Chain A
Amino acid sequence: DAGITQSPRHKVTETGTPVTLRCHQTENHRYMYWYRQDPGHGLRLIHYSYGVKDTDKGEVSDGYSVSRSKTEDFLLTLESATSSQTSVYFCASGGGYGYTFGSGTRLTVV
């Protein structure tokens, strides 16, 4: 969807290094979400935001932090990447109804 983009699309990083993934939306949506998806699993919520500087934890938040300093950007940070954080990460945004997803970031931690 052109209204929401994720960067980078692919990243390989070493264990113990910090990593930041970016989600950018141009829809002026209030709500933004970060999920991870592992083979054979659904989407698990990491963190979400319900406004600028308003964030909350999801079901798998350990090892992740987020920041939202502007409506359009929602950053996901792995402070010290571990191999268990190898996954595909999806961002979503919505205005209360109708949530759209980015194309995902494939992160590999070696």
Chain B
Amino acid sequence: GESVGLHLPTLSVQEGDNSIINCAYSNSASDYFIWYKQESGKGPQFIIDIRSNMDKRQGQRVTVLLNKTVKHLSLQIAATQPGDSAVYFCAELNGNKLVFGAGTILRVKS
């Protein structure tokens, strides 16, 4: 069935380093992808999105890369800060269904 999965459940990085969070998706028909950040006790917050006709999109300190050939999505966070500590989810839109992966915990060490 449809699924979106993440390679690494927990990622620890040193403050100031770059972070890379990966995501594999299984449905080649998905045409829109979103990264969300979720802090404890809160709902998911939109970070950045990308459509399937693109392979890269940049935001403020964040970049999303899409490789449709291998059905892989990544989120790069530049100069990771303590405030970036959270759970990160990728999501894919297939038709009308928005499906989430299991999530990656990002821990930033000071």
Contact = CB atoms under 8 A, between A and B. Distances in A.
Interface in A60-110: 90, 92, 94, 97-104
B102 A42 contact: yes
Contacts of B110: none
Interface residues of A, number: 25
B45 interface: yes
Contacts of B99: 45, 59
A94 B98 contact: yes
Nearest to A43: B100
A43 B102 CA distance: 7
Interface string B1-27: 100000000000000000000000000
Identify the interface centre among B36, B97, B102, B103: most chain A CB within 10 Å of its CB: B97
A102 B34 contact: no
Given A99-B46, A102-B43, A35 B97 contact: no
Query: Per DSSP, are chain B's interface residues mostly helix, strand or loop, or mixed?
Result: strand
A41 B89 CA distance: 11
A43 B44 contact: yes
A51 B47 CA distance: 26
Interface residues of B, number: 21
A96 to B, nearest CB: 8
B103 A50 contact: no
Identify the interface centre among A41, A42, A45, A92: most chain B CB within 10 Å of its CB: A42
Contact of A41 (B1, B34, B44, B102): B102
A56 B102 contact: no
A99 B45 CA distance: 9
Given A1-B43, A33-B98, A41-B103, 9 more contacts: A35-B100, A43-B100, A50-B96, A59-B1, A92-B98, A98-B34, A98-B46, A98-B49, A101-B45
15 contacts: A31-B98, A35-B100, A42-B89, A43-B44, A48-B96, A56-B96, A90-B43, A92-B98, A97-B51, A98-B46, A98-B49, A99-B91, A101-B36, A101-B44, A103-B43
